[in-house]
């Protein structure tokens, strides 16, 4: 043994200049010589080592097996350590290069398009509500604790493995080879591997289950919270942003949470444990590693971030080239029309050469980085073996100790590089979590339930001195001291120019918003005294210019008006809405699926389905907001007939642009700049020769004839 170590030192020193080609190579060459392998084996080895330096990141598995096989024949220490070296090289290289390729470029544009995401992660994005997190985790706390215990067990076994391997090597190298202690060590190692396998499977499964249950609970809480938010909440945000929180953010939050337990907890425990174990073997050698490794990791991290920047630039250039080509090819007629082909080719050439330049720079960076990390890792192993050899020569260390030390150091290296990748993930996960929690905790001003639910409603509405500004634009008063009376069972019409505030009146009746000042009264009581869901579900029907239908069957769309309606009631409502006929003409009748990837229906048909829905609801109060203004004359007639049937006997507020549709109203109010400027019957208003009379005259001349 002594001879071997000495021989090793001599040759290693002699070949110090070849460190760059891989310590593993040197060590293997050394061993091959020491154990007097033939020249052919040595050449094979050198060839494999030579190619290692260039292709290591591409085929680490193959190489580690190949080199380990050869080395195993030479010496167990090197066999195990060489496999470990390649493993850790691979983890280190992939951990630092991987984010370059895929993470950054996807993140960057997303952030820039969504300013409010940025705001959220900027202000409170890094602070997480731990109380809420605990509340969401508590139901599964036992499962989670079991997962943590299993992960820690795996970490513990991982710390023990090098120690057991060390005793095995000692048993092998002890004089004459102590077979019974060799057997004992081997059995313990098998036991450790089995424990490792079982507990790994256990913690991964448990964490998966806990993670999914957690995500389910978060999604549900979030969706519930979104459902009860005020309409103003939706005015302020893009729906894509809200959906993102429900999907991407929850996903990211869940996976970071899982990673923290599986990767973080396990690796940190492993690193600390291995460090202690190494220290027990040799304080001096551990000291050497403690100085060298963090320094090089710091340098590596800095280099890694500059690589990421280079990768981002390269991706941006590629994106620009693509969008440039897309634009030119998409507008080929214009390009041809101006005879600009050669100029476009020159421009494209400019972009592609820019791409090439940046990508080559990146390739060089990755090359230097990968080569450098190999050099470093080889250097560390060489240093350990060399210095360990010195210690062995002084009888201060056994071969088993050296083995234990080497494997422990690889465990630490792996643990550190895994943890460094985790760090970024944790920051992103906390950002995602705080965005999710922000919505879960968001309060709404108008509750969904609570308040009066009278059996009988008269349906009289009054706007008393109402002033209102939209929460998104508080400085613009849309309604100013607005007065309006809609007596029970009567039809009142609102007319006036676009932007006057007519639809806002309808929104206030539905209590989508509350007035800033003044009150909206229903049967003499403030609207806020009533149960909002009762008001919307039963008391008020609302039909606007563009009814929204869901991507489900016609039948379900109509039944949305009253979910407990029987099929016969649905058909009857459709008949009254002049919709039964066209629905029956569809091959699948009422089972026809509408909307996305389903059948699309015309504006008039849509409107009649919406009317059927309102008929089913049978509300006391009906609001028609420009219900027919988007329709052609033919469908307008059909829809108007259906509307006439619907409005009979109810309190109705009609908002109309075309004055012909509101002449029959009991009262007509002209809205201008957020106020009612005139009110009366059609005849009274014509006689008064005011704004309404002007509007009517205008429309007659403009649209060629309405009977006045």
Ligand X SMILES: Nc1ncnc2c1ncn2[C@@H]1O[C@H](COP(=O)(O)OP(=O)(O)O)[C@@H](O)[C@H]1O
| Residues near ligand X (CB under 6 A) | 235, 470, 472-473, 478, 498-504
Q: Which two tokens stand for residue 225?
A: 């919270």
Minimum CB separation from Mg ion for residue 508, in Å? 13
In the complex with ligand X, the residue whose CB is nearer, 180 or 498, is 498
Q: How far is Cα 172 from Cα 167, in angstroms, rounded to an integer? A: 9
Minimum CB separation from Mg ion for residue 500, in Å? 8
In the complex with ligand X, the residue whose CB is nearer, 500 or 610, is 500
Residue 658 DSSP class = S
Q: Which of 590, 647, 656 is nearest to 614 (CA)?
A: 647
Residues 343-382 that bind Mg ion (CB under 5 A): none
Strand-by-strand arrangement of the 525-526 sheet = 477-486, 461-469, 517-522, 525-526
In the complex with Mg ion, the residue whose CB is nearer, 26 or 506, is 506
Q: Which residue is nearest to Mg ion (CB)?
A: 503
Contacted by 135, from ligand X, Mg ion, none: CB < 5 to 8 Å by type: none
Minimum CB separation from Mg ion for residue 238, in Å? 22
Q: Which of 644, 680, 654 is nearest to 502 (CA)?
A: 654
Q: Which of 349, 342, 346 is nearest to 321 (CA)?
A: 349
Instruction: Show the binding pattern over residues 486-525: x = contacts Mg ion (CB under 5 A), - = does not.
Output: -----------------x----------------------
In the complex with ligand X, the residue whose CB is nearer, 447 or 499, is 499
Minimum CB separation from ligand X for residue 330, in Å? 34
Number of residues engaging Mg ion in binding (CB under 5 A): 1
Contacted by 413, from Mg ion, ligand X, none: CB < 5 to 8 Å by type: none
Minimum CB separation from ligand X for residue 231, in Å? 8
Contacted by 606, from ligand X, Mg ion, none: CB < 5 to 8 Å by type: none
Minimum CB separation from ligand X for residue 472, in Å? 5
Count of C-beta atoms within a 10 Å radius of residue 445 = 11
Q: Residue 608 class from Cβ within 10 Å (0-12 exposed, 13-18 middle, 19+ buried)?
A: buried
In the complex with ligand X, the residue whose CB is nearer, 422 or 627, is 627
Q: Dihedral angle at the C-alpha atoms of 195, 200, 206, 208, nearest 10 degrees? A: -170
In the complex with ligand X, the residue whose CB is nearer, 166 or 515, is 515
Minimum CB separation from ligand X for residue 124, in Å? 26
Tokens 């080509």, residue located? 325
Partners of 543 in the beta sheet? 624
By CB under 5 A, is residue 410 in contact with Mg ion? no
Longest dimension (CA), the chain: 124
Minimum CB separation from Mg ion for residue 537, in Å? 23
Contacted by 196, from Mg ion, ligand X, none: CB < 5 to 8 Å by type: none
Helix (H, G, I), strand (E, B) or coil at 162: helix
Are 515 and 478 in contact by the 8 Å Cβ rule? The answer is no
Helix (H, G, I), strand (E, B) or coil at 544: strand
Q: How far is Cα 47 from Cα 33, in angstroms, rounded to an integer? A: 16
Contacted by 472, from Mg ion, ligand X, none: CB < 5 to 8 Å by type: ligand X
Count of C-beta atoms within a 10 Å radius of residue 98 = 11
Minimum CB separation from ligand X for residue 241, in Å? 16
Residues 557-616 that bind Mg ion (CB under 5 A): none
In the complex with ligand X, the residue whose CB is nearer, 342 or 498, is 498
Minimum CB separation from Mg ion for residue 122, in Å? 36
Minimum CB separation from ligand X for residue 540, in Å? 17
Q: Count of H helices and E strands in the chain?
A: 26, 10
Q: Which two tokens stand for residue 446?
A: 């108008």
Minimum CB separation from ligand X for residue 503, in Å? 3
In the complex with Mg ion, the residue whose CB is nearer, 24 or 500, is 500
In the complex with Mg ion, the residue whose CB is nearer, 32 or 503, is 503
Contacted by 191, from Mg ion, ligand X, none: CB < 5 to 8 Å by type: none
Non-local (6+) Cβ contacts of 468 within 8 A are 477, 478, 479, 482, 504, 508, 513, 515, 516, 517
In the complex with ligand X, the residue whose CB is nearer, 213 or 657, is 657
In the complex with ligand X, the residue whose CB is nearer, 656 or 685, is 656
Residue 659 DSSP class = G
Q: How far is Cα 296 from Cα 417, in angstroms, rounded to an integer? A: 12
Q: How far is Cα 368 from Cα 96, in angstroms, rounded to an integer? A: 13
Contacted by 175, from ligand X, Mg ion, none: CB < 5 to 8 Å by type: none
Contacted by 501, from Mg ion, ligand X, none: CB < 5 to 8 Å by type: ligand X
Pairing outcome for strands 461-469 and 517-522: antiparallel
Contacted by 504, from Mg ion, ligand X, none: CB < 5 to 8 Å by type: ligand X
In the complex with Mg ion, the residue whose CB is nearer, 267 or 503, is 503
Minimum CB separation from Mg ion for residue 506, in Å? 8
Minimum CB separation from ligand X for residue 621, in Å? 18
Count of C-beta atoms within a 10 Å radius of residue 394 = 8
Tokens 């979104």, residue located? 226
Contacted by 235, from Mg ion, ligand X, none: CB < 5 to 8 Å by type: ligand X
Query: Which H or E run contains 481?
Result: strand 477-486
In the complex with ligand X, the residue whose CB is nearer, 236 or 528, is 236
Q: How far is Cα 530 from Cα 227, in angstroms, rounded to an integer? A: 19
In the complex with ligand X, the residue whose CB is nearer, 235 or 632, is 235
Count of C-beta atoms within a 10 Å radius of residue 491 = 21
Minimum CB separation from ligand X for residue 662, in Å? 14
Q: How far is Cα 310 from Cα 175, in angstroms, rounded to an integer? A: 56
Contacted by 643, from Mg ion, ligand X, none: CB < 5 to 8 Å by type: none
Measured CA to CA in angstroms, residue 682 lies from 493, 629, 660, 689 at distances of 10, 20, 10, 11
In the complex with ligand X, the residue whose CB is nearer, 344 or 510, is 510
Non-local (6+) Cβ contacts of 320 within 8 A are 351
Contacted by 279, from Mg ion, ligand X, none: CB < 5 to 8 Å by type: none
Query: Which H or E run contains 667?
Result: strand 667-672
Contacted by 499, from Mg ion, ligand X, none: CB < 5 to 8 Å by type: ligand X
Contacted by 617, from Mg ion, ligand X, none: CB < 5 to 8 Å by type: none
Contacted by 604, from ligand X, Mg ion, none: CB < 5 to 8 Å by type: none
3-state helix, strand, coil in the chain (%, to 5): 70, 10, 20
Residue 651 DSSP class = E
Tell me which residues touch Mg ion (CB under 5 A): 503
């Amino acid at each position: 043994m002594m001879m071997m170590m000495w021989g090793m030192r001599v040759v290693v020193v002699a070949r110090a200049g070849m460190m760059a080609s891989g310590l593993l190579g040197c060590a293997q060459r050394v061993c091959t010589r020491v154990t007097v392998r033939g020249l052919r084996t040595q050449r094979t080895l050198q060839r494999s080592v030579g190619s290692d330096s260039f292709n290591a990141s591409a085929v680490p598995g193959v190489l580690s097996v190949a080199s380990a096989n050869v080395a195993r024949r030479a010496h167990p220490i090197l066999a195990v350590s060489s496999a470990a070296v390649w493993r850790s090289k691979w983890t280190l290289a992939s951990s630092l290069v991987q984010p370059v390729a895929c993470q950054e470029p996807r993140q960057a544009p997303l952030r820039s398009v969504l300013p409010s995401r940025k705001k959220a992660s900027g202000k409170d994005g890094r602070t997480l509500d731990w109380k809420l997190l605990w509340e969401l985790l508590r139901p599964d706390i036992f499962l989670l604790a079991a997962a943590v215990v299993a992960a820690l067990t795996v970490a513990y076994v991982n710390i023990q493995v090098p120690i057991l391997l060390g005793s095995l090597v000692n048993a092998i190298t002890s004089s004459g080879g102590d077979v019974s202690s060799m057997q004992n060590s081997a059995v313990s190692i098998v036991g450790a591997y089995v424990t490792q396998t079982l507990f790994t499977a256990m913690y991964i499964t448990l964490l998966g289950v806990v993670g999914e249950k957690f995500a389910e609970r978060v999604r549900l809480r979030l969706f519930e919270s979104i459902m009860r938010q005020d309409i103003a909440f939706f005015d302020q945000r893009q729906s894509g942003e809200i959906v993102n929180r429900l999907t991407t953010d929850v996903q990211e939050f869940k996976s970071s949470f899982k990673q923290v337990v599986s990767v973080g907890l396990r690796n940190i425990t492993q690193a600390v444990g291995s460090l202690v174990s190494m220290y027990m073997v040799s304080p001096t050698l551990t000291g050497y590693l403690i100085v060298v490794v963090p320094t090089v990791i710091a340098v590596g991290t800095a280099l890694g971030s500059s690589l990421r920047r280079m990768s981002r630039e390269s991706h941006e250039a590629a994106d620009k080239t693509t969008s440039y080509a897309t634009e030119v090819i998409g507008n080929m007629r214009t390009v041809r029309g101006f005879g600009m082909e050669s100029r476009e080719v020159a421009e494209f050439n400019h972009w592609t050469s820019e791409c090439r330049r940046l990508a080559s720079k990146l390739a060089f960076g990755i090359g230097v980085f990968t080569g450098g990390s190999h050099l470093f890792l080889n250097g560390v192993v060489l240093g350990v073996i060399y210095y360990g050899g010195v210690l062995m020569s002084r009888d201060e260390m056994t071969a088993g100790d050296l083995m234990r030390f080497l494997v422990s150091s690889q465990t630490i290296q792996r643990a550190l590089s895994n943890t460094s990748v985790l760090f970024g993930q944790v920051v992103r996960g906390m950002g995602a979590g705080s965005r999710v929690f922000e919505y879960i905790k968001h309060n709404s001003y108008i509750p969904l339930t609570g308040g009066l639910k009278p059996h009988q409603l008269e349906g009289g509405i009054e706007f008393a001195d109402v002033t209102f500004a939209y929460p998104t634009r508080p400085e613009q008063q849309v309604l100013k001291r607005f007065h309006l009376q809609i007596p029970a069972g009567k039809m009142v019409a609102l007319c006036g120019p676009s932007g006057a505030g007519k639809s806002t009146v309808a929104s206030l009746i539905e209590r989508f918003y509350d007035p800033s000042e003044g009150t909206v009264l229903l049967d003499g009581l403030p609207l806020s005294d009533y149960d909002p869901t009762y008001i919307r579900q039963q008391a008020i029907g609302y039909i606007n210019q563009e009814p929204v239908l869901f991507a489900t069957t016609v039948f379900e769309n109509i039944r949305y008006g009253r979910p407990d309606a029987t099929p016969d009631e649905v058909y009857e409502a459709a008949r009254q809405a002049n919709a039964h006929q066209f629905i029956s003409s569809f091959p699948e009748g009422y089972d026809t699926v509408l909307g996305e990837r389903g059948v699309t229906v015309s504006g008039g048909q849509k409107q009649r389905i919406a009317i059927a829905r309102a008929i089913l609801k049978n509300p006391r109060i009906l609001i028609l907001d420009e219900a027919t203004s988007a329709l052609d004359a033919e469908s307008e007639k059909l829809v108007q007939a259906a509307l006439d049937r619907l409005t009979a006997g109810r309190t109705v507020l009609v908002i109309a642009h075309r004055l012909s549709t509101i002449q029959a109203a009991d009262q007509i109010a002209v809205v201008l700049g957020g106020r009612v400027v005139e009110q009366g019957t059609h005849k009274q208003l014509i006689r008064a020769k005011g704004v309404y009379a002007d509007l009517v005259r205008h429309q007659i001349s403009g649209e060629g004839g309405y009977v006045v």
